[in-house]
Amino acid sequence: MWRLKVSERSSPWLRSMNNLLGRQEWVFDPDLGTPEERAQVDKARREFAKHRFERKHSSDLLMRIQYAKENPHNHLGDLPAVKLQENDDVTEEAVWTSVKRAVNRVCNLQAHDGHWPADYGGLLFLLPGLNEDGGWGLHIEGYSTMLSSALNYVALRLLGECTNGGDGAMEKSKRWILEHGGATFTGAWGKFWLSVLGVYDWSGNNPVPPEFWLLPYYLPFHPGRMSCYCRMVYMPMSYIYGRRFVGPITPLVLELRKELYTDAYDEIDWNKARTECAKEDMYNPHSLVLDILWTIVHKFEPIMFHWPWRKLRNKALAFTMRHIHYEDESTHYINLGAVPKALSMLACWIEDPDSEAFRCHIARVPDYLWIAEDGMKMMAYDGSQVWDACLTIEVLLATGLIKELGPTLKRAHSFIKNSQLLENCPGDLNYWYRHISKGGWTFTTADDGWQVSDCSAHGLKVKIISSSSPLKKLYNQI
């Protein structure tokens, strides 16, 4: 069975500023669980699979099964369920009984370190579920897109799934991709990852040259002025693009070159493919000015691989790699979300597959993986620990049941207190395109390092409330 571990060290390569407080990691133990518990987990999985097209969201039943055993307490008593008929009056007693039952559920899902573990699934090209039409959507409820469909089809093929004809899931997926034009119509991020694998040519990408990072910062289009998430995506992406890295061309890669396109791979017009995009993926068409700019850069950028321009390319690659290492170390190798995490980890591997940086990256991969009855998925971030804990504390306090919930609130307040950022990132923050973070709170854990304004506001609010005389007195009595 799978088991959720919280705030525990599982690798010597893990780096932390507060003993990994809030870290969530699912681990598999073949000897874990009674026969009854294993049967309960299997039933949950079967039920989800049976109804996966009607009820696409999981209910985190694996975590609930585990915590029902670890936290079997009824803090407010064993209360009966309230079931009202259509014409029944809603009494104050019925409302309070329902509130107390809900509070019991919430308290029983709290981890020992004070936060409430939870799935933070997001973009479904990470690890999603298949749609009925054979494609994959960008979100659980979304229609199929070429970006998600191409990447997930390739991922399943890499994991050993085969296309043997007939009308199985893989055949339906392949048919959906080809009927919508083939993988040349995937979005920019899809083109990028397929190029890394070797099933798409780098010349079919719009340029992401690392030399842009060497431009003067006062220019309004300097990439350092982009929003933090865009910057953290395109910095390692520009490094990988600048190196034109391609993985080993294996027999499977050659098979995928045949499976993903309507034309023979050697006959594809990559310059045309560079601007192709499926209508399902076209949220905002490119402007004419942007297309002209990309065309100019695309035409002249190849000179960067020849002397004397190669020197400038090498300088740009070294610059971007320094910034990648800075972000890795500042976030304890968590990075600002799953996409920057994967890109930065790949960049470190390309630079040196035996490096300490890459090993530290590998140790943080489990932080992004979540297990439920719908299987394993990759979360958009490494959780929402601080955000969820703050809001949950505020809701519990609003019930007025402070005395009854003393131990729960004390653990939660301790988690928030010890999740505050106590230092700024090192060095000249302007040089690293960073802002102050000391005194703030992140969305996830302190190790994440990225101060967020609304999370900081709620963190401060909770700390102020917890310092009030009634709560301090209550905590001292526990």
Residue 88 banded pLDDT, cuts 50, 70, 90: confident
Residue 57 banded pLDDT, cuts 50, 70, 90: confident
Reported pTM: 0.93
Residue 438 banded pLDDT, cuts 50, 70, 90: very high
**Domains detected in the chain:** 2-118+383-476 (no CATH), 121-379 (1.50.10.20)
- The yes-or-no verdict on residue 58 having pLDDT over 80 is yes
For the purposes of burial, counting CB atoms within 10 Å of the CB of 222, is it exposed (0-12), middle (13-18) or buried (19 or more)?
middle
How many angstroms separate the CA atoms of 328 and 349, rounded? 13
What's the pLDDT score for residue 245? Answer: 97
Which residue(s) pair with 145 in the sheet?
Answer: 136
Tell me the residue length of the chain. 478
Active site residues: 454
What's the pLDDT score for residue 394? Answer: 94
The pair of structure tokens assigned to 320 is 């971007």
Cβ atoms of 130 and 173 within 8 Å: the answer is yes
- The yes-or-no verdict on residue 125 having pLDDT over 60 is no
Q: Which long-range contacts (CB under 8 A, 24 or more apart) does 277-285 make?
A: 277/146, 277/185, 277/186, 277/187, 278/145, 278/146, 278/180, 278/181, 278/185, 278/186, 280/143, 280/144, 280/145, 280/146, 280/180, 281/145, 281/146, 281/147, 281/185, 281/186, 281/187
What's the pLDDT score for residue 11? Answer: 95
Between the CA atoms of 108, 113, 115 and 117, what dihedral angle is there, to the nearest 10 degrees? Answer: -70
Q: What percent of the chain has pLDDT over 90?
A: 74
In this predicted model, what pLDDT tens digit does every residue of 327-374 receive, in sequence order?
999 999 999 999 999 999 999 999 999 999 999 999 999 999 999 999
Main-chain phi, psi angles of 221, to 5 degrees: -105, 15
How many angstroms separate the CA atoms of 174 and 261, rounded? 10
What's the mean pLDDT when you consider all of the chain?
Answer: 92
Mean pLDDT of 146-151: 93
In this predicted model, what pLDDT tens digit does every residue of 413-433 receive, in sequence order?
999 999 999 999 999 999 999
Nearest to 463 by CA among 419, 422, 425: 419
What's the pLDDT score for residue 122? Answer: 65
What's the pLDDT score for residue 162? Answer: 86
- The yes-or-no verdict on residue 74 having pLDDT over 80 is no
Find all residues with CB under 8 Å of 54, minimum gap 6, and list them.
none
Q: How many CB atoms lie within 10 A of CB 132?
A: 9
What's the pLDDT score for residue 123? Answer: 62
Cβ atoms of 26 and 370 within 8 Å: the answer is yes
In this predicted model, what pLDDT tens digit does every residue of 216-271 receive, in sequence order?
999 998 999 999 999 999 999 999 999 999 999 999 999 999 999 999 999 999 99
